[in-house]
Amino acid sequence: MAILRGDDPEAIRRAAEVIRRGGVVAFPTETVYGLGADAFNARAVALIFELKGRPRFDPLIVHVADPEDVKRLWQEVDSRARKLMERFWPGPLTLVLPKRAEVPDIVTAGLGTVAVRMPAHPVALALIREAETPVAAPSANPFGRLSPTTAEHVLQGLGERVEVILDGGRCPVGVESTVLALDGEPRLLRPGGVPVEQIEEVIGPVKKDLRPTRPEAPGGLPRHYSPRTPLRLLQRGEEIPRGLKVGLLAFKTPREGFVRVEVLSPSGDLREAAARLFEALHRLDSAGLDLILAESVPEEGLGLAIMDRLRRASQAVDKSQRRER
Ligand code: TXA
Ligand code: MG
């Protein structure tokens, strides 16, 4: 296993070589770190599922370095997709459209659609260009756990199992991409780095039915993005439970009485809060706490993605289910 500097062209060449010969590489994007393989190599993609312990029914996002490359993946680029790509790519917006037959079934979990995005991160773009193939990549964490926003998180989560980790520092957006289905009426499958309000400015109304167990977007599984430490949302006026070591994930202002407090954004800026979310949760999770209480944030802009992750992290689950993930 090697951690290489993402800004070193020689490191990019080495990592791209790993991808070309069917291996797996962890790399930074503007949202979270990804665990990537050649999207057209089914065996390489199978390795991603193995390393993450991810169920095969959960499809992957394919990353491109040039909007033109979608032609190798989608049957057709409709006018809505075209407009959204012009406005938001490169960036944290993933679009789901009918796939070409050449895209291996393992990438899409057998679905007739494939999710694609062009990341806005120089290291990710350099890697995909140098590998000369679209790169299928989920977030670089064990399935169901907190997403990684630093190379250190990747190392802690997947450790020696990854051949190469490209280190690009902190991910500036900090929450995963927005996933939007365009194989019919536009449907929000996962809130993320591009606020849905901005998408609606470009293509009009988007369906936002985010019920937790839609099988078509297992990122929508009820419990996901979870710390090991139990987490729940702090209720208004709630007393801190006695006799437990309790940590607080605060939005703007720290509070007394907690063993450990992480503040997301002292100025109340939702973008800053999103950028710090997973890092703050990773720190709370390694602080030896019995419980993490999380304050709610306003559900607008990036707040929708933050609350989605916090709700999923807080879903109670029995032990057998927890072991599965
Ligand atoms: O920001 C991101 O999107 C990061 C970085 C690495 O790009 N990737 C990421 O991948 O979050 P992952 O695998 O953790 O989440 C992918 C989400 C899942 O919720 C999955 O179910 C959904 O995208 N998805 C992928 N392909 C799909 C498809 N064909 N139809 C519906 N949902 C799909
Ligand atoms: Mg993930």
pLDDT 10s per residue in the chain (325 long)? 899 999 999 999 999 999 999 999 999 999 999 999 999 999 999 999 999 999 999 999 999 999 999 999 999 999 999 999 999 999 999 999 999 999 999 999 999 999 999 999 999 999 999 999 999 999 999 999 999 999 999 999 999 889 999 999 999 999 999 999 999 999 999 999 999 999 999 999 999 976 654 445 555 666 778 899 999 999 998 999 999 999 999 999 999 999 999 999 999 999 999 999 999 999 999 999 999 999 999 999 999 999 999 999 998 554 334 443 3
The residue contributing the CA closest to ligand 1 atom 19 is 219
Ligand 1: which atom is nearest the Cα of residue 176?
1
- Residue spans of the domains in the chain: they are 2-203, 231-324
Question: Which ligand has the minimum distance to the alpha carbon of residue 29?
Answer: 1
The residue contributing the CA closest to ligand 1 atom 10 is 138
**CB 270 within 8 Å of CB 309:** no
Residues 322, 40: Cα–Cα separation, whole Å: 32
Q: Say which CATH architecture domain 2-203 belongs to.
A: Alpha-Beta Complex (3.90)
Angle at which helices 303-313 and 270-285 cross, to 10°: 20
Structure tokens at 266: 């002292």
The pTM score is 0.93
Ligand 1: which atom is nearest the Cα of residue 92?
1
Task: State in Å: Cα 28 to ligand 2 middle.
Answer: 14
DSSP states of 153-213: HHHHHHGGG-SEEEE--S-SS-SPPEEEE-SSS-EEEE--SS-HHHHHHHH---B----TT
Q: Which fold has domain 231-324?
A: Rossmann fold (3.40.50)
Name the β-bridge partners of 248. Answer: 261, 293
Task: State in Å: Cα 136 to ligand 1 middle.
Answer: 10
